[in-house]
Amino acid sequence: MEKNIIVIGGDGFCGWPTSLHLSRGGFNVTIVDNFSRRAIDEELGAQSLTPIASIDDRIAAWKEVSGNDIRFEKIDAAQEFDALYALLEELQPEAVVHFGEQRAAPYSMRGVSQKRYTVDNNINATHNLLAAIAALDLDTHVVHLGTMGVYGYDGDGLEIPEGYQKVLVPGDDNIVYQREILYPTNPGSVYHMTKSMDQLLFQFYAKNDQMRITDLHQGIVWGTQTPETKLDDRLINRFDYDGDYGTVLNRFLVQAAVGHPLTVHGTGGQTRAFIHIRDTVRCIRLAIENPPARGDRVVIRNQMTETHRVRDLAKLVSDMTGAQLALVDNPRNEAAENDLRVSNESFIALGLRPTTLAEGLMEETVEIAQRFADRFDRKTVAAASLWTKNQKPGVVANA
């Protein structure tokens, strides 16, 4: 019998291709989403560069090309506990993949209402899921999308382990004790802070209810398409490039395609971790297939494949396309320069073969950024959400 999987946030950028990948892999997929991401696009006057179909059209197209059914339930995981509980009770899923959170750091810093929304939405969605599984006493494996940003980005290059840090503590009896602790969190936005808080919820439910939980500390996802979303235009994945939701490399690629200068924040000395969307969906499947046992501590895996400095990425895109660089005032409160070394041993050991920037960049530029360049809206490019009151927006003059 096919195993049931619920994908919360399955209409989003990572959730949609993951749902297709799992459906193709033989799982019986139910998507839960409240369309908050589509609603925020309207609030911001922004839209995906790629024209995304409605969920009904997406699911119908998938049935046509694969023969597989995907079920959809419109539920707000943060607000509609009873509906979420009833669905879990009905399906008794093997796993729930939890993407259903507000995921943009700039949006979470935009103003007081977005800060409050991000905390309410993210913490409640995660806690509702855990509380419902515990109340139903299900053996469901929770696979959560966390972020590399919980570790913080002011490191000096000491390798970041996968979630847990060995520490030596001098006792007052002159004995040095060894402990392994959850890596101390150092979030850089209200959004990243909610992911730090999620970690404590997981730690508690794994200990108290022997819940099986995997937390994936994912880097910045780039790229758009996966083998499944390429099968039909109605399956195309979303591509965000606006000042709040557009992530750095995807922004640079579309900016280059339309002749907009590449918006490098500050000196561009920020080093970040990256992963292609194709590898995201593979990692999630690997995580589902390699669950912790009941009673284990939370399994934390670093879901990233490469690290890059922002100005090096800008140079790479500029060398490939001839685009100009613009050093803009950094609207964020973050270290101007940092080094980053990250362990990703656990996914490599499970068989992940990373898609490198060198392989995927040109394909992405031609198949997505250039193909849909006429949908680009310059008005949405400026990064206008400020971390503190005395900062200036990252605006490019005359762009």
Q: Which of 100, 188, 291, 394 binds ligand NAD (CB under 6 A)?
A: 100
Residue 147 annotated as catalytic: yes
Between CA 228 and CA 16 the distance in angstroms is: 10
> Is position 153 annotated as part of the catalytic site?
no
Residue 344, interface with ligand NAD (CB under 6 A)? no
**CA atoms in the 13 A half-sphere facing the CB of 265:** 28
Nearest residue (CB) to ligand USQ, 234 versus 276: 276
Q: Does 274 bind ligand NAD (CB under 6 A)?
A: no
Among 5, 7, 14, 323, binds ligand NAD (CB under 6 A): 14
Under 8 Å between Cβ of 251 and 383: no
CB neighbour list of residue 59: distance below 8 Å, 6 or more residues apart: 69, 70, 72
Stretch that binds ligand NAD, among 28-36, 46-54, 251-259, 369-377 (CB under 6 A): 28-36
Q: Which stretch binds ligand NAD (CB under 6 A): 43-51, 73-81, 88-96, 371-379?
A: 73-81
Angstrom distance (rounded) from CA 273 to CA 341:
9
In the bound complex, what is the minimum distance in angstroms from residue 87's beta carbon to ligand USQ?
25
Q: Let me know: does 169 contact 305? Beta carbons within 8 Å.
A: no
The set of residues, in sequence order, having a beta carbon less than 8 Å from that of 75 and lying 6+ positions away, is: 32, 33, 34, 83, 84, 87
**240-259: which residues touch ligand NAD (CB under 6 A)?**
247
Catalytic one of 147, 194, 224, 355: 147
Q: Which does 100 bind (CB under 5 to 8 A by kind): ligand NAD, ligand USQ, none?
A: ligand NAD
What's the DSSP call for residue 168? E
Q: Could you give the CA distance from residue 280 to residue 277 in angstroms, rounded to a whole number?
A: 5
Residue 187 tokens read as: 């979030």
* Residue 207 · residue 173 · CB < 8 Å: no
Residues that bind ligand USQ (CB under 6 A): 103-105, 147-149, 219-220, 247-248, 251, 263-265, 268, 270, 272-273, 310, 330, 332, 334, 383
269, 336 Cβ separation under 8 angstroms: yes
Q: Tell me the per-residue interface mask from 36 to 55 with ligand NAD, x by CB under 6 A, - otherwise.
A: xx------------------
| Least separation in angstroms between CB 297 and ligand NAD | 21
Residue 31 CA to residue 56 CA, distance in Å, equals: 11
Active-site residue flag, 191: yes
Nearest 10 degrees: Cα torsion 225, 229, 235, 239: -10
CA 127, distance to chain mean position in Å, is: 18
Residue 397 Cβ vs ligand NAD, minimum distance, rounded to whole Å? 28
Quote the least distance from Cβ 117 to ligand NAD, whole Å: 10
Other beta carbons within 10 angstroms of residue 41's beta carbon come to 20
> Which among ligand USQ, ligand NAD, none contacts residue 361 (Cβ within 5 to 8 A by kind)?
none
What's the min distance (Å) between Cβ of 7 and ligand NAD?
9
- State the residues that interact with ligand NAD by CB under 6 A: 8-9, 11-15, 32-37, 76-78, 99-101, 103, 121, 125, 145, 147, 218, 220-221, 247
